[in-house]
Amino acid sequence: MAYVCLNCGKEIEDIKYFISCVNCGSRILVKRRSNLAKEVSTD
Ligand SMILES: [Zn+2]
């Protein structure tokens, strides 16, 4: 499961031991969704 750092935007493909960004050290990570949120047009 991939994660994305909210601080620097780096994608972290595999987190096994460290729940932190390997790039900047931020612990604010979010799960990356396989599909981008679909834009819904109401018009
Ligand atoms: Zn980062």
What number of other Cβ atoms are within 10 A of residue 9's Cβ?
A: 10
Give the Å distance between the CA of 37 and the centre of ligand 1: 22
What total number of domains does the chain contain? 1
Does residue 40 lie within any of the structural domains? no
Cα 43 to averaged position of ligand 1 atoms, centre (Å): 38
* Residue 37 DSSP code: P
Within-domain flag for 42: no
Q: Is residue 43 part of a domain?
A: no
Reported as a single tens digit per residue, the pLDDT across 1-43 is 788 999 999 988 877 766 788 899 999 988 887 655 556 667 6
Distance from the alpha carbon of residue 16 to the mean position of ligand 1, in angstroms = 16
28 phi and psi angles, rounded to 5 deg: -95, 95
| Cα 20 to ligand 1 centroid, rounded to whole Å | 8
Range of the domain at 7: 1-33
